[in-house]
Chains A and B, each alone.
Chain A
Amino acid sequence: EAGVAQSPRYKIIEKRQSVAFWCNPISGHATLYWYQQILGQGPKLLIQFQNNGVVDDSQLPKDRFSAERLKGVDSTLKIQPAKLEDSAVYLCASSSSVLSNQPQHFGDGTRLSIL
């Protein structure tokens, strides 16, 4: 089966600019996650979708970050305006259900650098 697809792979922007990332999960996976991984750390969950509804966005900085999953398939994550501390890899993952015993499948991420 095709894996989780993310684009772009790399993005360089200046602070205060906006940026968007795109994710296409594994076909049929109802649950989609966005993570932020700062260099040298483990991934941190930003937002979790079940179909097109938000399950958990408690760690999403809502003043600058937004995410949507229209039609319950693809998802986009946006940052506006970007800050220097947003430099990180943004990972998208999907799983077949929200049940805790289902593994998550990750894309290769988008590496964001803020100048």
Chain B
Amino acid sequence: SQQGEEDPQALSIQEGENATMNCSYKTSINNLQWYRQNSGRGLVHLILIRSNEREKHSGRLRVTLDTSKKSSSLLITASRAADTASYFCATVPNTGFQKLVFGTGTRLLVSP
């Protein structure tokens, strides 16, 4: 079963704009991860945020986590056409094993 839902399902922006994607999940977690998937390719790990962290940065990526609301957001700043992809949040439940439970994904289109 899918743990999380992402919002919006699809997002279309211009190059240089910021893109924000949200993820909601259902159970308590050990950590939350974001992955990118280009069309026809596998998923690529972007960033991991632990349950005791509230914000994390990596290059043009900023991730926030609110465990009280069971939600996370991914911000991509100054987007580029190469950022066009599907973005998935994945949670690791508090079971001790690396078992990723993926959300439904956000399809991002960045136009030149």
Contact = CB atoms under 8 A, between A and B. Distances in A.
Contacts, number: 67
A contact residues, range: 20 to 34
Given A91-B42, A107-B42, A41 B97 contact: no
Interface in A1-21: 4
Interface of A is mostly: loop
Contacts of A31: 98
Interface of B: 1-2, 30-31, 33, 35, 40-45, 48, 50, 88, 90, 92, 96-105
Given A42-B104, A91-B43, 20 more contacts: A40-B104, A42-B2, A42-B90, A42-B102, A43-B88, A43-B100, A44-B1, A44-B102, A93-B42, A100-B31, A100-B92, A100-B96, A100-B97, A102-B98, A103-B45, A103-B48, A104-B45, A104-B98, A108-B40, A108-B42
